[in-house]
């Protein structure tokens, strides 16, 4: 394979040498190596301003992040063979850490497969390609997955903001074998069915697994409220680990249908109730009804998707957490989660402090969890660390 060469400006190689994988369009020396002749998804050799080869990246000349390194060895472009090699490395970590084949198998940059997500549900795989560089490798990705895992079926579930940035269409397509509308998984000794065809993202969120496990140790005999519950990842697990009552709130009728289905699957259907509607309205309704809970789980979608959303997003986090605190019994526990990469951990701590003080309460933070081990953090790419979960006891002063 003969590849074109792109040269970086002076000192623009520092991040790559430090371990980063991204190349920004303003770092390319376009006078020496123009970008306008490079096709989206094309691979290129990246070299420093002095001509030293730094590796191979796939390129999208139309985006701010115009290159993503796939290999630091210019002899190894992104091919089926390299994807197989990277999959085996990713698999070895998950098999070391998990006793069930239910996990995020590939987590993009952290597994040196930038732009690729693969979630595993036993014998089935749900794949997301978020960049043109990975989209053009569809056939090679499928071939590699089949070779390494021999799955019963592979579903491409391609949607979301990342694809829009790359000007890629959204689609859902079974590309290998057959994939049912719902797939089974086990997390923290609890069984689930995930709606992979119609649900959110890949159908399930493996990222908060450690926080759910921690919560499961403290729910016995308690009344629990799970807000933004989706299909019951937190709430159904709480019921399965001894909670006396669980209320799940979500705006999606489909999600709540699966809450009941998953509760029944674990023999705790009589403990779980649902409330469909906007979370803010539901919280207000519960407060008006003078409902009280021992534990409230607040795990909203990303309120801050871009840096320009930080101010409004922080206000939204403040509002929902304060409303959650109002529903807690004295000595109750708030679990405050965030999947917003742009919400700093210290900002969330301050939001909880301010929320508690505004309603004349105090909060003791006694626990903290991060994303699961199947979402490893790339030490040079802070964007790969996004999950936060803080556990606090809320007290009357």
Whether 160 has a pLDDT exceeding 80, the answer reads no
pLDDT reading at 204 higher than 70: yes
Task: Please tell me what DSSP assigns to residue 39.
Answer: P
Averaged pLDDT, 77-87: 98
Q: Where are the beta strands (DSSP E) in 190-346?
A: 190-194, 223-227, 245-250, 272-276, 293-298, 328-338
Helix, strand, or coil (residue 229) = coil
Which two structure tokens, joined as six digits, stand for 133? Answer: 């560089």
Is the model's pLDDT at 294 over the cut of 70?
Answer: yes
Q: Does the pLDDT at position 159 exceed 90?
A: no
3-state secondary structure of 206: coil
pTM: 0.95
162-191 pLDDT, tens digit per residue, is: 788 898 999 999 999 999 999 999 999 999
Write down the pLDDT at residue 308.
Answer: 86
Indicate if the pLDDT at residue 137 is higher than 80.
yes
pLDDT value at residue 1:
63
Q: What one-character DSSP code corresponds to residue 263?
A: H
Q: What are phi and psi of 358, to 5 degrees?
A: -65, -30
| Structure confidence by residue, pLDDT tens digits, 316-332 | 999 999 999 999 999 99
pLDDT value of residue 259: 98
C-alpha to C-alpha distance for 330 and 351, rounded to whole angstroms:
19
Cα–Cα distance list, 107 to 53, 196, 286, 298 (Å): 26, 18, 38, 25
Q: How far apart are CA 198 and CA 192, in angstroms?
A: 15
The number of residues in the chain equals 397
Q: Considering only CA atoms, which of 197, 205, 232, 237 is closest in space to residue 220?
A: 237
pLDDT digits (tens, 9 = 90+) for 15-62: 999 999 999 999 999 999 999 889 999 999 999 999 999 999 999 999
């Amino acid at each position: 394979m003969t590849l074109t060469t792109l040269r970086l400006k002076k000192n623009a190689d520092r991040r790559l040498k430090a371990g980063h994988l991204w190349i920004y369009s303003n770092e390319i020396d376009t006078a020496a190596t123009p970008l306008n002749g490079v096709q989206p998804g094309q691979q290129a050799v990246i070299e420093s301003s002095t001509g030293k080869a730094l590796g191979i990246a796939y390129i999208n000349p139309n985006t701010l992040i115009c290159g993503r390194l796939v290999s630091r060895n210019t002899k190894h472009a992104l091919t089926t063979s390299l994807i197989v090699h990277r999959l085996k490395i990713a698999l070895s970590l998950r098999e070391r850490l998990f006793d069930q084949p239910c996990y995020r198998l590939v987590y993009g940059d952290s597994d040196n497969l930038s732009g690729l997500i693969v979630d595993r549900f036993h014998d089935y795989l749900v794949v997301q390609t978020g960049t043109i560089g990975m989209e053009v490798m569809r056939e090679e990705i499928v071939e590699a997955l089949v070779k390494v895992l021999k799955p019963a079926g592979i579903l491409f579930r391609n949607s979301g903001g990342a694809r829009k940035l790359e000007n890629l269409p959204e689609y859902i397509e079974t590309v290998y074998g057959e994939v049912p509308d719902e797939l089974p998984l086990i997390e923290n000794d609890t069984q689930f069915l995930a709606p992979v065809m119609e649900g959110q993202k890949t159908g399930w969120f493996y990222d908060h697994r450690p926080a759910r496990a921690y919560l499961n140790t403290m729910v016995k005999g308690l009344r629990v409220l799970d807000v933004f519950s989706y299909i019951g990842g937190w709430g159904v697990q709480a019921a399965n680990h001894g909670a006396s009552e669980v209320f799940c709130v979500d705006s999606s009728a489909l999600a709540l249908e699966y809450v009941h289905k998953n509760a029944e699957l674990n023999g705790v259907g009589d403990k779980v109730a649902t409330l469909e509607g906007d979370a803010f309205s539901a919280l207000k309704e519960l407060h008006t009804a003078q409902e009280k809970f021992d534990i409230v789980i607040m795990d909203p979608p990303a309120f801050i998707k871009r840096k320009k959303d930080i101010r409004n997003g922080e206000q939204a986090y403040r509002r929902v957490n304060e409303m959650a605190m109002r529903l807690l019994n004295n000595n109750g526990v708030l679990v405050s989660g965030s999947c917003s990469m742009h919400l700093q951990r210290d900002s969330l701590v301050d939001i909880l402090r301010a929320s508690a003080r505004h309603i004349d309460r105090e909060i003791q933070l006694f626990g903290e969890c991060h994303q699961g081990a199947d979402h490893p953090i790339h030490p040079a790419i802070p964007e790969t660390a996004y999950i936060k979960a803080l556990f606090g006891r809320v007290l009357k002063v």
